[in-house]
């Protein structure tokens, strides 16, 4: 008789998305020292989310068979970062600037590399035609090799404790390394590129659901990368498989200003069978 299989999917639990308390103690390498963390895109309430998720992992340690972590992984030069773009005066856009297809046609914003003009025209046209997120310039975040790219300490510590008792290791999935397309969801980029298979659909997370009886989901941010990952997964799942998904709603929060987007996501997913529970109710 097969034992029930339960997995935990944690989406982008990285410092740049967490509102880290001032003077929090961190350990770098082998030395313990006070360091200043300046998250690029802190989500309000995320640090509390992290501690609740860490407590959940510790409490459910023996009931979790697998932990999968997606990691937002960028370069400073990225289509959703300021250096990729400039205006007629040579100025880069400020964070949270929206760039539409028409903005590019009108020359309001152009790629700093002029050879990419056709690409960005096709890119933004595709986003708008398919109803995906509008191209938004985010603060430069989750740069590979930076502290902001690392998993936050509470969650990282809980994962390592789980690994020790389970005698296995968690699985990491990097997304966003190609600078020419955004990659909110863990399954595929917003605009898959023909010459980069890492931007194309990856069935790994869909197979995770098919092979498990229960998949808990957490991470940041609820309004964007969590929502996008779940939406990409349910597109490939049956109605019965969708019921295996449970979002730990008290361990994830929306980006400030995108609260309604998160509510719309919750309502949409609830209507098709995705479960939403708090860790205290499990």
Tell me what the mean pLDDT of segment 71-96 comes to: 98
Q: How far is CA 126 from CA 83, 118, 131, 192, 216, in A?
A: 22, 12, 8, 11, 32
Residues 222-257: pLDDT tens digits?
Answer: 999 999 999 999 999 999 999 999 999 999 999 999
Please say if the pLDDT value at position 280 is more than 70.
yes
* pLDDT for 202: 97
pLDDT of residue 37: 82
Task: Give CA separation, 82 vs 93, 94, 130, 136, 193, in Å.
Answer: 5, 7, 24, 10, 21
What's the pLDDT tens digit per position in 9-60? 999 999 999 999 876 655 555 455 566 788 999 999 999 999 999 999 999 9
Strands 110-111 and 85-86 come out as: antiparallel
Query: How many angstroms separate the first and last alpha carbons of the chain?
Result: 25
* pLDDT for the residue 23: 62
Tell me, what's the pLDDT at 76? 97
Name the pTM for this structure.
Answer: 0.95
For the segment 135-148, the average pLDDT, to the nearest whole number, is: 97
**pLDDT-based confidence at 1, cuts 50/70/90?**
low
State how far the Cα of 223 lies from the Cα of 213, in Å rounded to an integer: 26
Whether residue 206 contacts residue 237, with contact meaning beta carbons closer than 8 Å, is answered with yes
Whether the CB-CB separation of 230 and 269 falls below 8 Å is answered with: yes
Q: What share of the chain is helix, strand, coil (3-state, %, to 5)?
A: 40, 20, 45
Q: How far apart are CA 43 and CA 186, in angstroms?
A: 19
Average pLDDT score, the chain: 95
**Which residues does residue 28 pair with via DSSP β-bridges, in sequence order?**
31
């Amino acid at each position: 008789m097969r034992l029930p299989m339960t997995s935990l999917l944690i989406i982008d639990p990285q410092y740049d998305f967490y509102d880290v308390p001032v003077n929090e103690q961190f350990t770098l390498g082998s030395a313990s020292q006070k360091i200043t963390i300046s998250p690029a895109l802190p989500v309000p309430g995320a640090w509390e989310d992290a501690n609740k998720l860490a407590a959940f992992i510790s409490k459910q340690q023996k009931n979790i068979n697998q932990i999968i972590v997606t990691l937002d992984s960028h370069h400073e030069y990225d289509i959703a970062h300021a250096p990729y773009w400039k205006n007629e005066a040579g100025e880069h856009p400020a964070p949270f600037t929206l760039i539409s297809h028409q903005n590019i046609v009108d020359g309001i914003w152009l790629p700093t590399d002029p050879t990419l003009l056709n690409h960005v025209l096709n890119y933004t046209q595709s986003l708008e035609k398919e109803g995906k997120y509008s191209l938004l310039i985010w603060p430069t975040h989750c740069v590979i090799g930076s502290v902001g790219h690392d998993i936050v300490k509470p969650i990282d510590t809980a994962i390592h404790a789980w690994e020790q008792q389970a005698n296995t290791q968690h699985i990491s999935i990097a997304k966003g390394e190609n600078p020419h397309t955004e990659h909110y969801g863990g399954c595929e980029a917003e605009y898959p590129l023909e010459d980069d298979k890492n931007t194309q659909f990856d069935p790994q997370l869909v197979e995770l659901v098919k092979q498990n009886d229960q998949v808990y989901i957490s991470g940041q941010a609820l309004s964007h990368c969590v929502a996008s990952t779940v939406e990409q997964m349910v597109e490939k799942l049956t109605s019965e498989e969708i019921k295996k998904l449970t979002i730990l709603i008290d361990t994830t929060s929306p980006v400030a200003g995108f609260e309604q987007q998160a509510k719309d996501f919750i309502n949409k997913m609830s209507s098709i069978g995705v479960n939403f529970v708090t860790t205290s109710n499990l």
